[in-house]
Amino acid sequence: MSNRSLPGLVSRDGETRVRVTKGLELTKRQSMLALVGLLVVFAIPDIATVTPSLQLTVVHQGLLFGLAAVGLNLLLRHTRLVSFGHAAFFGTGAYTAAVLAAKFDVASFSLLLIAAMVVATLVAAIVGYLSLRHTGLYFSLLTLAFGQLLYALVQGQSFFGSSDGLPVRPGAARQPLIFGLALDSEAYAVILYYLTVIILVVSLVVMWRLVNSPFGNALDAIGQDRTRAQFIGIPVQRYVWIAFVISGVYGGVAGALYAMVQQHVRPGPVLYFLRSGDILFMAILGGFQTLLGPLVGGVLLVFLQDVGRDVTAYFDALTGVALLIIVFGLPRGLVGSLRAGGLLAAATRDFRENPAVVGEWISAAVTGIVEATRNWLRDVQSILGVR
């Protein structure tokens, strides 16, 4: 193996950088942020034991939905395709693990995860082959249709537990075995969390390498202009199909891990189309133009939903409020805005120079919302023929 592929310190333009893998080099600041982030993530189980408001399960779910959003973002960011059916792959991974555990007594964590990857790959390959014959709105509707078809199939079959779902408990075991060990519930949750973090880090590195490869550059070209990309010799259909399958595999892995965390799977939480909307919104919330944005969006949205359920019965409204904030204040998403620094820096500078500018921001946001509502009502009246 070449020394250029090995981790270590390198010098670029008089600046020392940390090489993580071939082509991935971090500045000192980026390295410190990455290290602090990893330390915080790995310390979550310990923090959760002394902080009742922070539940390990909530953070774990956020990371898993964030992983699914990272996969979806491969399509959204690089090919400009919007999928409304990625819950199908998340649910495929979850139900593969559940069926093998409950019906066939497969207890191995590794086997359940590998099987989920294989089945999710097959489902994504079929759905992608049929859906990618179209683009734009028709592609989005086809992915939604396939997702709902799978949801109805699982919901209506007793083999899958119908609406009650299936437990992820192989035979007499309380949960899947990790490295052949039968652990108590607390140790199982913590070790599974650490395994998820490791899988997540590896998945992010793989995705980074992928999008910064010639294949990723080709996807960017396809997203910018499909006709031009085809004209210069890029096999558009095949490349987009491969990206779709990879995206589905990420969802399948996340779904399998989710099933083993929850130890019970029902069709509503993993296959219903609203879950696809959540995964898409996570990518937008965190910033779909960045690698880490969808992951951050996943953790944040799950946390907001969990807090919202404790605060109000109308917790779904929090999602709408968050969307309005993103649209009006952070159009690049949280990570995107922090990374660019433009909007955030300008907002901070304006506030320092004139604190009253906050009122102007609120007024502008309210005016925009009122105007948008009026236009929407006008369109509805026009459609219904009401004057």
Q: How far apart are CA 343 and CA 320, in angstroms?
A: 21
- pLDDT on residue 338: 73
Domain with 363 in it: 358-387
- 233 plus 280 within the same structural domain: yes
**Is residue 238 assigned to a domain?**
yes
pLDDT band, very low/low/confident/very high, at 174 (cuts 50, 70, 90): confident
Is residue 121, in this structure, part of any structural domain at all? yes
Strand partners, 265: 166
* 3-state SS class at 153: helix
Name the most confidently modeled range: 158-172, 174-188, 358-372.
158-172
Number of H helices, E strands in the chain: 16, 5
**Segments in the chain forming alpha helices (H):** 28-50, 56-78, 87-104, 109-131, 136-155, 185-211, 214-224, 226-231, 236-262, 267-271, 273-286, 293-311, 316-329, 333-340, 342-353, 357-384
How far is the C-alpha of 375 from the C-alpha of 378, rounded, in Å?
Answer: 5
Quote the pTM value: 0.81
Tell me the pLDDT tens digit for each residue of 39-61. Answer: 877 777 776 665 666 788 888 99
Residues 317 and 370 in one domain: no
Residue 299 and residue 381 share a domain: no
Answer whether residue 108 is part of any domain. yes
Answer whether residue 351 is part of any domain.
Answer: no
- Of 328, 284, 275, whose CA–CA distance to 305 is shortest? 275
The structural domain count of the chain equals 2
CA distance 67 to 254: 6
Residue 36: pLDDT band (50, 70, 90) is confident
- Residues 308, 368: one domain? no
Residue 28 domain flag: no
349 within some domain: no
Q: Which CATH number does the domain housing residue 124 bear?
A: 1.10.3470
The residue-averaged pLDDT of 124-137 equals 93
